[in-house]
Amino acid sequence: MNFTTNLLDAIEHSDKTLDAHVDAESAHGGILVGFKGYGDFCSENGAGWPILIENREGIPYIVIWSDINKEGPTHVISLENAAESKFKAK
């Protein structure tokens, strides 16, 4: 599944929008997320994907390249502790 959408600005009084692209059929084995005008170190302009969501042994991870001048990811976030089975009622 691939799609493009136009994200509205989260600031209430701003009319700035952002074109977002999602590729869930990638050969990378995950879900790629990109934005018009944003990329990563290894990709040509207009072809970058600064966000990757992947499955690591049944745990979703978000891998982010937030600095186009760095080859490796700048953040790797495990969602292990967001599992519903980890919820502790107050």
What is the per-residue pLDDT for 13? 79
Tell me if 66 is assigned to some domain. yes
Tell me if 75 is assigned to some domain. yes
Domain of residue 70 covers 19-80
What is the per-residue pLDDT for 87? 94
What is the per-residue pLDDT for 46? 87
Using CA atoms, how far residue 18 sits from 2, 7, 24, 37, in Å, is: 17, 5, 19, 9
Reported as half-sphere exposure (CB side, CA atoms, 13 A), residue 36 has a value of 8
Tens-level pLDDT at each residue, the chain (90 residues): 888 999 888 887 788 899 999 999 866 789 999 999 999 999 999 889 999 999 999 999 999 999 999 999 999 999 999 999 999 987
Report the b/e string of 14-53 with b at 16+ CB within 10 A: eeeeeebebbeeeeeebbbbbeeebbbeeeeeeebbbbbb
Tell me if 56 is assigned to some domain. yes
Picking from 33, 30, 42, 86, the residue whose alpha carbon sits closest to that of residue 67 is 42
CA dihedral defined by 36, 38, 40, 42, rounded to 10 degrees? 60
Tell me if 39 is assigned to some domain. yes
Domain total of the chain: 1
